[in-house]
Chain A
Amino acid sequence: MGLLRYTAFRVVQAIPVLIGITVITFILANLAPGDPVRLMLQGQEVDQEVIERVERQYGLDRPLHERYVTYMVNLLQGDLGHSIHRDRPVTDLLIQRAGPTLLLVISAYAFALVTAIPLGIIAATRRNEPTDHVSRIVALIGVSTPSFWIGIMLILIFAIQLGWLPSSGLVYPWRSPEHYGYSGYLELAFQTIRHLLLPMVALGTLQMATLMRVERTQMIESLQGEYVKLARAYGVPERTILRKHAFQVAQLPIITIVGLNLSTALGGAVLIEYVFNINGIGRLFLEAIQSLDYQLIMGITIVIGTMFVIGVIITDISYAYIDPRVTYGDRD
C-alpha cells in the first residue's frame, strides 16, 4: 500500500521537473542564432513577404510565451512539433529511431552488469592480490577511454583486421527474417548478436568499469559489516556469506548507479551510433544539430530529459522495493 502511494507520489513530484525541462529547452532553442526559415531556404533569395507567410504558417511570428503554450498543448497530445527541415512530424521521426537506440543501450547495460558484478566480487574477495590489481587497471582504462575511440579500435581489430564482425549497422530482431533475406529466426538472432556485439561493448565498457569498481567497494564494505562478523560467528559458510549476506546489501548502490548513469549512456549512444552507422536517436540528434533543425533538437532533448527523469524515478522506486529501510514519508 505504502509502496503504491510512494510510486504515485514520486511520479507527481516529477511533473515540475519535466515542465522545467521543456521551458529551458524551449527558450534555448528559440534564442539560438539563425532564423529557421532562412536556414530552410538555404541561402536562396526570397521575398520578405514569403518569409513572413511561412513564419505565420508555423506560428513563428507570435510572442514566445504564446508559442510555448501552443507547444505544450501539442506536447500533451504526443505532438512534438513539425520538423521544417524534414517536413515530417518530430514524433514520427523519434518513434522510428527509438528502437535501435533502446536495443543498443539496453544490451550495453546488460553487458556491463553481467560482467561487472562477478568481476567486482572477485576483486573484492581477492583484495590487493594480482587479480584485484588487473581489474583496477582495466577499470581505469575503461573509465578514462572515450567510448567512440573504443568503438573505432574495435572496428579496426575485429571488423577490418580480423574480419570477424560487421562494422556498421544493426539487425533488428523485431523485423522478419525475410526482410534481411535470412533463412529463419535462428539466423536472425545470430545476425542480431553479431551486429550488436561491437557497439554494445564500445558503449558498455564505461558502465562496466564504473559498476565493477562500485561493486568491489560495496562488497568490501559489506564484507566488513558487523552482520557478516555475526554470520561467521554462527558458523555460516563463507560461500553463503558472500552470495547472500554480503551480496544483497552491496547491490543497493548498483541500482542507483545504473539509474543515474542512464543519461551518460544515452550521451554515449550518440557517438556510438555515429561510429557504427546506426540509425538511432543519437544519430538523428547529430543530424538535427548539423542542420539546425530546432524542432527536432527540442523534441529529442525533451525525450532524453524525460527518460532521465524516468530513470531516477525507477531507481527510487526499485530501491524502495528492495531496501526495507527506505520509508515513504509516512510512518506506521
Chain B
Amino acid sequence: MSAEPLLRVEDLKTQFFTDAGTVRAVDGISFEVYEGEIVGLVGESGAGKSVASMSLLRLIESPGEIVGGEITYKGETIFGLEEGPDGELREREDMLTNEEVRTRIRGNEIAVIFQDPMESLNPVFTVGSQLREFIELNRDLSNGAARQEAIDMLREVGIPDPEERYEEYPHQFSGGMRQRVLIAMALACEPSLIIADEPTTALDVTVEGQIIDLVDELQQKYDTSFIWVTHDMGVVAEICDRVNVMYLGEIVEQAPVDELFYDTKHPYTDALLDSMPRPDRTVEELDPITGVMPEAISPPSGCRFHPRCPDAREACKRIHPENREVARAEGYPHRAACIKHDVFGSDYEESAPLENGAGADQQLPASAVDSTSTSTSTSTSGESERTDGGEHDE
C-alpha cells in the first residue's frame, strides 16, 4: 500500500433536484484508489454507482449537482468546498475550473469506458477518426503520429487488421470489438485512472470473459488504475483488488476482494453474494427491484437497508450507520456500515428483531417486494440519528 492514493474521495454528495423532490443519488461516500489497483464499485442499478463515477469527472448534468465533499486527484482538487465569510459554502480557491477539468483531467488523466459499446461510438464517423480525435486532444502528438498511435492501440487491444478497420464505421464492428475500441481509446490517452462503467454488461458471457482477460493483461502492462463499476459480483471476484459495495447512494462495505468474499461484514453484501451461486446469474435478474431512484428521494430511516435486511432489528430503524472500520486486512481497512458490529456501540443486541429480519429467508426478492411501501412510510415519520455524533438525517 503506497502512501498517497491516486484519487481520494471524501464524503461526496451528488444530488438531483427534480420536481418530485431531491434525489440523493450519492450520499456521502468516501473511498480511495491507489496506483495500479482495480477498485470495484458494486451495487444494484440505482445505487448511485454511475453518478458517483461521473462526479469524479465533474460530468453531472442539470438537474444534478455535486453538493458536498471533496475529490482530490494527484494533489489537485477536482471538487472541494469551504465555508465563506458569510457562512455559506463556496467552491474552494484551489478547485479546478471547468476548463481545467476538461483539459487537464478528462481523457488524459481519467478516461472512461462506458457500458454500451453500441451507443458510445458516433455512428457517422469512422472508428479511426474518433480514436484519433481523442488522442490528439489528450496527447501532444502530430496528426500522423496520432493516427499511427490509434492503429497501434487497435492492434494492442486485439483488433485484427487495424489499418483497414481504422477506416471502418462503428456499425461494421461487433459488440465485443466495439468495446475493444473503447478500451483502446481509454488507454491511448495514457491516463493514470480509467473508469469502466459496466463495460461488460452489454456483452455475452464469452465475450465478457475475453474483455476481462484483456483488461487484466493491459492493466498490468500499463499499470493503470481502474474504477470498475458493476452490479455483478462474479466480475468483481475476477478482476477487482478492492471493492466498495454501494446501496442507495452510500458505501455500505469496503474491503479487499478476498476479505469481502470470505469475511463479509454487511448483510447487503451477503445478500449480493448469495445471489450469485450461478455464474450466469446477475443481481438484477434475481432482484427485480423497481423504482429505486424514487427511493433515493425518501430513503428509509436509520439504516437504509433495514426494510430488506434479514438481520434487521428495532435499533436499525433509528440508527443511520456510517461506514466504519471494523477490521483490517492486507494493510487496508475493512469498513462496514452495520450496527451489528461492536465498534458502533449501539443497542443492536438488546433491541427486538424486525419482522422481515427474524427467520426470513436469505433471498432478496421476498423482502424486496414490500420494501418500497414500508420505506416511504417509515421515512416520512421516522427520525434517525447518525452514529457519527448524532447528526440528524434531513
Contact = CB atoms under 8 A, between A and B. Distances in A.
Interface in A196-227: 225-227
A200 B70 CA distance: 58
Contacts of B189: 234
Contacts of A234: 106-107, 111-112, 134, 137-138, 185, 189
B121 A229 contact: no
Given A234-B138, A236-B133, A323-B123, A226 B107 contact: no
Nearest to A222: B122
Contacts of B112: 230, 233-234
Interface residues of A, number: 20
A43 interface: no
B124 A322 contact: yes
B123 A325 contact: yes
B122 A227 contact: yes
B125 A248 contact: yes
A235 B125 contact: no
Nearest to A249: B124
B120 interface: yes
B123 A324 contact: yes
Contacts of B107: 233-235
A232 B126 CA distance: 18
B171 A325 contact: yes
Contact of A237 (B102, B105, B116, B123): B102
Interface string B270-313: 00000000000000000000000000000000000000000000
Nearest to B137: A235
Contact of A229 (B59, B126, B133, B169): B59
B100 to A, nearest CB: 10
B120 A227 contact: yes
A227 B138 contact: no
A232 B60 CA distance: 11
A95 B57 CA distance: 63
A188 B324 CA distance: 84
A227 B111 contact: no
Nearest to B171: A325
Contacts of B121: 227, 230
B166 interface: no
Interface string B133-169: 1100110000000000000000000000000000001
B374 interface: no
B326 to A, nearest CB: 35
Query: B107, B124, B137 — which one has the most chain A CB atoms within 10 A of its CB?
Result: B124
A85 interface: no
Given A226-B114, A226-B120, A227-B119, A235 B138 contact: yes
B103 interface: yes
B387 interface: no
Given A323-B123, A324-B169, A232 B59 contact: yes
B124 A235 contact: no
Contacts of A324: 123-124, 126, 169, 171
Contact of A235 (B108, B114, B185): B108
A233 B123 contact: no
Nearest to B117: A226
A245 interface: yes
17 contacts: A225-B122, A227-B119, A227-B120, A227-B122, A230-B114, A230-B120, A232-B106, A233-B111, A233-B112, A234-B134, A234-B189, A235-B107, A245-B122, A248-B125, A324-B126, A324-B171, A325-B169
Interface of A: 225-227, 229-237, 245, 248-249, 252, 322-325
Given A234-B106, A234-B189, A235-B108, 5 more contacts: A226-B119, A227-B122, A235-B102, A236-B137, A323-B123
